[in-house]
């Protein structure tokens, strides 16, 4: 079984345009699986959050995962321009990708964006976020 969160994180960290926009002020390269660190603030630099939102194993080939990922981009208050730039880079990287080998982390068989970018303002902080969903089939 493959950890698709770790796989997608490594994939996004391999894209220079994404890591450049994220800057160097965040721990873990600014890409997090699960919760953001308590000390996180997008005032320093934006971040990407990868969350599992469903999926299944292939019914006949148990080494294949077919997972749905929610990818949330965090940016400072009203900074939807940065959030959308990052989301566009993620989409152009992941949507339609096939046959990508990430060695020990796994192999992306296919990836499709299934719900395009949605703007959401965090009600507690006012931070700008853009949320999109992807279907990642990996082994």
Average pLDDT over residues 76-98: 95
Each residue's pLDDT tens digit, 5-18: 999 999 999 999 99
| For the chain, domain boundaries | 4-138
Q: Identify the pLDDT of residue 22.
A: 93
Average pLDDT, the chain: 90
pLDDT of residue 62: 63
Token pair in block for residue 138: 């990996």
Q: Six-digit token pair at 24?
A: 């160097």
Cα separation, 37 vs 45, whole angstroms? 13
Which residues, other chains included, contact 124 with Cβ-Cβ below 8 Å and sequence gap of 6+?
A: none
The pTM (predicted TM-score) of the whole model is 0.90
Question: What is the pLDDT averaged over residues 81-110?
Answer: 94
Sheet holding 65-77, edge to edge: 31-33, 47-57, 65-77, 127-138, 107-121, 98-101
Q: CATH says 4-138 is which class?
A: alpha beta
């Amino acid at each position: 079984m493959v950890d698709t969160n770790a796989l997608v994180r490594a994939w996004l960290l391999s894209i220079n345009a994404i890591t450049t926009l994220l800057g160097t002020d965040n721990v873990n390269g600014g890409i997090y699986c699960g919760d953001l660190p308590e000390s996180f603030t997008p005032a320093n630099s934006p971040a990407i959050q990868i969350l599992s939102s469903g999926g299944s194993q292939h019914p006949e080939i148990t080494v294949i995962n077919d997972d749905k990922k929610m990818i949330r981009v965090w940016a400072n208050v009203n900074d939807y321009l940065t959030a959308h730039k990052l989301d566009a880079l993620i989409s152009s990287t992941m949507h339609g990708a096939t046959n990508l080998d990430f060695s020990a982390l796994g192999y992306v068989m296919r990836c499709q964006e299934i719900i395009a970018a949605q703007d959401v303002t965090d009600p507690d902080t006012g931070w700008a976020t853009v949320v999109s969903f992807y279907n990642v089939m990996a082994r």
